[in-house]
Amino acid sequence: MPQGQVSVTPDDGLTTRQRRNRPLLVVHTGVMKGKSTAAFGMALRGWNQGWSIGVFQFVKSAKWKVGEEEAFRALGTVHEQTGQGGPVEWHKMGSGWSWSRRKGSETDHAADAVEGWAEIRRRLRDERHGVYVLDEFTYPLKWGWISVDEVVEALTERPGHQHVIITGRDAPQALIDAADLVMETTKIKHPMDDGQKGQRGIEW
């Protein structure tokens, strides 16, 4: 796709404008860092378009400080105060989904993941967000907590103009086949190879 030019023009009956504005299912997978970072970069572009952003983190601990979360919460405040950009919601499985307000130290992670996916399905049906980031969502699929076939069906049949970005290693083949855009990160070098631990501003 040199200089942004498509290599083929499909015979799908759509105009160039319709094809350009088609909602995408995006998968960021692979072993290297940067999958979530790239997804949040796309969400940032969506926020600038005025789209509602919904982030759902499925694995990261609620205690981990994620730099992108603070940045997007600040952008949500900017939208509330000035109308610039779009509204932002950020939900973490480890802290109890914000719509359920559950607390407690003993958690069933599989049940929490199922609950999060059920809420996302409701939001897709209601066309709540312009961009969904399902961060590390491939893991509940890999572990069998959530049905891959159910996810693929819900995402391919979602109504309206809703972009969905899924991150995580080992994306199932059925999800890759259904996606419009798939990125695989591959490690060539990493500071951790030389014993350096993650650092602020780079890993979080």
Q: Which domain does 63 fall in, by range?
A: 22-194
Please answer whether residues 25 and 176 qualify as being in contact, where contact means their C-beta atoms are separated by less than 8 angstroms: no
- The tokens describing 184, both together, are 């695989």
Q: Residue for token digits 């040199």?
A: 2
101 in a domain, yes or no?
yes
CATH number for the domain that contains residue 83: 3.40.50.300
* Tens-digit pLDDT profile for residues 95-116: 888 887 665 545 688 999 999 9
- Alpha-carbon Rg for the chain in angstroms: 18
Give the model's pLDDT for residue 88. 98
On the question of pLDDT at 1 being above 50, the answer is no
Give one word for 56, left, alpha or beta, with left for phi > 0 and alpha for psi -120 to 50. beta
Specify if 143 maps to a domain.
Answer: yes
Tell me, yes or no, whether 17 lies in a domain: no
**Quick one: pLDDT band at residue 33, thresholds 50, 70, 90?**
confident
On whether residue 105 sits in a domain, the answer given is yes
For residues 125 and 128, what is the distance between their CA atoms, to the nearest angstrom? 8
Q: Give the confidence band of 145 by pLDDT, cuts at 50, 70, 90.
A: very high
Which pTM does this prediction carry? Answer: 0.89
Look at the chain and report how many structural domains it folds into: 1
| Helix pair angle (148-156, 109-126), 10° resolution | 20
Q: Is residue 4 part of a domain?
A: no
Q: What is the pLDDT of residue 65?
A: 67
DSSP 94: G
Confidence check: pLDDT of 9 > 80: no
User: Is 159 a domain residue?
Assistant: yes
How many Å apart are CA 167 and CA 74, to the nearest integer?
23
Mean pLDDT score of the chain: 89
- For range 45-52, the mean pLDDT: 98
Angle between helices 67-82 and 35-48 (to 10 degrees): 10
pLDDT of residue 106: 55
Percent of the chain predicted with pLDDT > 70: 87
Instruction: Tell me the average pLDDT across 16-36.
Output: 88
Q: Please say if the pLDDT value at position 18 is more than 70.
A: no
Distance between CA 158 and CA 8 in Å, rounded?
Answer: 26
What tokens appear for 109 in the block? 């992670």
**Is 83 inside any structural domain?**
yes
Give the pLDDT of residue 139.
96
Q: Is residue 127 part of a domain?
A: yes
